[in-house]
């Protein structure tokens, strides 16, 4: 298996965009080729991470259209869908294409266009990932988040305020991210007084609905220096699945897919939780940041809320989490999110994160689909 | 790169099915595990080829649901979408997962549930693969097929009847396929007198709308004999893309993706057109069988119609094409089709094709998405 490098990255502005998906994908794709100093003709594989362009826009065949639009024909191309973790699954597939020796240059572009639909339509499209029986009984993803948050607070005697800390921290980080949807700080009081969505979670515990795109460029590690000085390696990667029916899980505060994919990535990289310098976690709901940082072994079960309250996961803490602002303030264009997590880790490792810069040689990104149904965890390492 | 074997295959009945996609996928998946003598726990990667379960059924996350349903958790899983060539792209991805060393046992399941929607709704969903400008001007896939058929007939001075020969041959083959949607012969007159859809093509020049599923099981070639005596190898594989906008192609009677993916597969396998003993081509429209058999080098440009009329591609001919009945009589459940092509080639190579059996050591399958927008060509070889 060949070692794999990331040699370029790009991100379009996340938020409400006056552009269709194909335009968003082309923006990120073209910018990424430029960033990696790679000509379109060099691309052998093109993967597009996208959950639902057919449902949102009535347009399918996104990968073929993008291949045409950015001039990478006749590259092999396909859409990778793993619902809201399509971006992470795209990293997995792109990595596999280089590792296998099938492709010597792979471009991954993730994107979603969502804000032109009403909130109820969008919620309906996203809810289609859950089990139809759970969904028909009204248990959507926000409901699961509320139930799980309640269970976590009760089990670990954590105060409601601790969840708000995640929102406050990630909004703080988002201020420094020019691509973020929301670049404004919020205080604990604002979070705690925002309207209830799924008790105990309130509006500010949720990520917004977002349009956006992001891209990463992969090649064999041994070729990376030909293109750029700024490259990182994929040190480890893992992908795993948990039950489709959430109520079948023994302990809903443990995300099996996070634990399993993390273990795979740790084993492959020979880096372990204590070696990680910076992490991007999938904070679609504030509670998820606790569950993932515990599932990945950053903190013992029931300890993440304390660590967060103590500032350990802030940008100046021991393990900065979601320096990008996370899904919470950066936004969550489904198919783009996992790719954008990779973008942030790449930028942090090559010391190009501007005002968000932290000291980091090894970074981790964890992208979650459904309510922990599918998870990809990737560990990147500075190779300069 | 490791050599890859196919050690099992399955297919559910194609046609109008009283079952949702998840049930169809589970049927094929479970049957395939049984066919390959593999326990669910051994599956490390699960790929689901499906174009549009969200659009057809309002249900997404199909790969996670299937992983749960057939008991392969916590396998890495994702949906592979390349529109109507999703099955071929699934074979490519499954092959890549074994070749790379990432997975030691990969299950691929393709499926689509379509017949519960009206023909106009279905046509609308399928038309979403074309370029929006072409589509809005009324140029859907059947229109492209009609225009291209007219051009082919004019360019090569071929009679209208030659197209009918494809339908007659494939319907004849379908009679012997217990999984086929239509198991009845048609005569030339019936084809030529059927209602016009897109001149010069008539109803019997088109494949039907179909529900169904199919699966294939992959492992390293060196491990195959542990599981079964009946295994074949992936001798060569190629994937390529052509323009999204069809009118930008220099010569519409040449499918660039077919030519390119075929060349890749030939080069990798070191088998060439004259070495192929049996082939499954993507005859969504009769004209496509001519274009593909020429693009793959079985016949010179403009010669396929003569070869077909002379019986060279019939089951007792020199190069049997679509012994399964092809999309024409077997049916075309989008995501299942490429996988089912692989099923037929596998069955032919292990001498388990029943009354359809031909003599074959090397077989080829070519799966086409859009109007030649994305193509995967795979060459399999009997390894017993």
Give the nearest chain A residue to B57 (CA atoms).
Answer: A128
Which ipTM value was assigned to this complex?
A: 0.96
Q: Which residues of B touch A1 (CB under 8 A)?
A: 100-102
Q: Which residues of B touch A64 (CB under 8 A)?
A: 82-83, 129, 241, 244, 369-370, 373-374
Does B33 reside within a domain?
yes
Does B32 reside within a domain?
yes
Does B81 reside within a domain?
yes
Q: Which residue has the tokens 């004849």?
A: B172
With an 8 Å Cβ cutoff, are A64 and B92 in contact? no
What lies within 8 Å, CB to CB, of B151 at 6+ separation is B252, B253
Nearest to A76 among B51, B59, B240 (CB): B240
CA B136 to chain centre: 28
Q: Which of B2, B213, B223, B227 is nearest to B108 (CA)?
A: B213
With an 8 Å Cβ cutoff, are A74 and B131 in contact? no
Q: What backbone phi and psi angles, to 5 degrees, belong to A106?
A: -125, 130
Give the nearest chain A residue to B89 (CA atoms).
Answer: A78
Nearest to B61 among A72, A100, A129 (CB): A129
**Res A348: pLDDT:** 98
Interface of A with B in 37-56 (CB under 8 A): 46, 51-52, 54-55
With an 8 Å Cβ cutoff, are B60 and A128 in contact? yes
Interface of A with B in 258-287 (CB under 8 A): 260
Helices B160-175 and B286-295 pack at an angle, to 10 degrees, of 90
Q: Write the Ramachandran bin of A197: left for phi over 0, alpha for psi from -120 to 50, otherwise beta.
A: alpha
Q: Which residues of B touch A121 (CB under 8 A)?
A: none
With an 8 Å Cβ cutoff, are B242 and A80 in contact? no
With an 8 Å Cβ cutoff, are A241 and B99 in contact? no
Interface of B with A in 347-376 (CB under 8 A): 369-370, 373-374, 376
Does A297 reside within a domain?
no
Q: Which residues of B touch A99 (CB under 8 A)?
A: 100-102
Interface of B with A in 91-110 (CB under 8 A): 92-93, 96-97, 99-102
Q: Which residues of A touch B101 (CB under 8 A)?
A: 1, 99-100
In sequence order, the β-bridge partners of residue B196 are B202
Longest dimension (CA), chain A: 57
- Dump the DSSP string for B22-65: HHHHHHHHHHHHHHTT--GGG--EEEEE-S-HHHHHS---HHHH
Q: How far apart are CA B102 and CA B377, in angstroms?
A: 23
Nearest to A99 among B64, B75, B102 (CB): B102
**Res A138: pLDDT:** 82
With an 8 Å Cβ cutoff, are A129 and B60 in contact? yes
Given a contact cutoff of 8 angstroms between Cβ atoms, the answer to whether A112 and A86 are in contact is no
**Interface probe with B: pick from A74, A130, A258, most Cβ of B within 10 Å:** A74
Q: How far apart are CA A114 and CA A208, in angstroms?
A: 11
Q: Is the peptide bond before A109 cis (omega within 30 degrees of 0)?
A: no
Strands (E), chain B: 4-11, 45-49, 76-81, 106-112, 196-198, 201-202, 212-220, 232-241, 278-280, 362-369, 374-382
CA distance B267 to chain A (A): 13
| Percent of chain A whose pLDDT exceeds 70 | 100
- pLDDT of A140 strictly over 90: no
Going A346 to A350 to A356 to A357, the CA torsion angle's sign is positive
Q: Which of A352, A40, A47, A84 is nearest to A216 (CA)?
A: A47
Q: Which helix (H) or strand (E) holds B112?
A: strand B106-112
Given a cut of 50, the residues of chain B with pLDDT beneath it are none
Given a contact cutoff of 8 angstroms between Cβ atoms, the answer to whether A247 and A35 are in contact is no
Give the nearest chain A residue to B69 (CA atoms).
Answer: A244
Higher-pLDDT residue of A248 and B40 is B40
**Res A131: pLDDT:** 87
Does A263 reside within a domain?
no
Give the nearest chain B residue to A48 (CA atoms).
Answer: B81
State both tokens at B203.
């109803």
A82 touches chain B (CB under 8 A): yes
With an 8 Å Cβ cutoff, are A128 and B59 in contact? yes
**Res B132: pLDDT:** 82
Q: How far apart are CA B284 and CA A360, in angstroms?
A: 53
**Interface probe with A: pick from B25, B55, B76, B99, most Cβ of A within 10 Å:** B76
Does B267 reside within a domain?
no
State both tokens at B209.
């709308």
Nearest to B74 among A64, A81, A256 (CB): A256
CA distance A375 to chain B (A): 8
**Res A300: pLDDT:** 98
- pLDDT of A282 strictly over 90: yes
With an 8 Å Cβ cutoff, are A76 and B92 in contact? yes
Domain housing A14: 4-117+209-227
With an 8 Å Cβ cutoff, are B60 and A81 in contact? yes
pLDDT band at A247 (very low <50, low <70, confident <90, very high): confident
CATH number at residue B52: 3.40.47.10
Domain count, chain B: 1
Nearest to B101 among A1, A65, A131 (CB): A1
Does B108 reside within a domain?
yes
Does A176 reside within a domain?
no
Residue B195: count of CB within 10 angstroms of its CB: 7
**Interface probe with A: pick from B241, B264, B372, most Cβ of A within 10 Å:** B241
Coil, strand or helix at A210: coil
């Amino acid at each position: 298996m060949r070692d794999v490098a990331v040699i370029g990255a790009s991100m379009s502005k996340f938020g409400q965009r006056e552009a269709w998906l194909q335009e968003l994908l082309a923006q990120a794709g073209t910018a990424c080729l430029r960033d990696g100093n790679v000509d379109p003709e060099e691309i052998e594989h093109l993967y597009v991470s996208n959950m639902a362009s057919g449902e949102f826009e009535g347009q399918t065949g996104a990968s073929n259209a993008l291949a045409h639009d950015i001039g990478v024909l006749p590259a092999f191309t396909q859409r990778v869908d793993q619902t809201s973790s399509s971006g992470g699954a795209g990293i997995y597939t792109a990595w596999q294409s280089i590792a296998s020796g099938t492709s010597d240059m792979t471009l991954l572009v993730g994107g979603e266009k969502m804000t032109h639909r009403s909130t109820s339509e969008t919620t309906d499209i996203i809810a289609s990932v859950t089990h139809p029986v759970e969904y028909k009984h009204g248990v959507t993803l926000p409901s699961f988040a509320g139930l799980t948050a309640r269970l976590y607070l009760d089990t670990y005697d954590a105060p409601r305020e601790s969840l708000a800390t995640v929102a406050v921290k990630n909004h703080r980080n988002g201020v420094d991210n020019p691509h973020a949807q929301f670049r404004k700080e919020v205080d604990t009081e604002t979070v705690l007084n925002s309207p209830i969505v799924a008790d105990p979670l309130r509006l500010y515990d949720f990520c917004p609905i977002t349009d956006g795109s992001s891209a990463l460029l992969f090649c064999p590690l041994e070729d990376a220096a030909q293109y750029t000085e700024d490259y990182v390696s994929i040190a480890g990667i893992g992908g795993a699945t948990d039950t489709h029916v959430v109520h079948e899980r023994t302990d809903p505060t443990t995300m099996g897919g996070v634990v399993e994919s993390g273990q795979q990535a740790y084993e492959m990289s020979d880096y372990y939780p204590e070696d990680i310098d910076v992490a991007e976690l999938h904070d679609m709901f504030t509670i998820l940041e606790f569950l993932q940082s515990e599932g990945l072994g950053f903190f013992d079960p029931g300890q993440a809320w304390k660590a967060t309250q103590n500032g350990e996961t802030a940008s100046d803490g021991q393990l900065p989490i979601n320096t990008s602002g996370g899904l919470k303030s950066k936004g969550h264009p489904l198919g783009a999110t996992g790719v954008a997590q990779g973008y942030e880790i790449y930028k942090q490792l090559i010391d190009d994160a501007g005002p968000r810069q932290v000291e980091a040689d090894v970074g981790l990104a964890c992208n979650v689909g459904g309510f922990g149904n599918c998870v990809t965890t990737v560990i990147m390492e500075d190779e300069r």
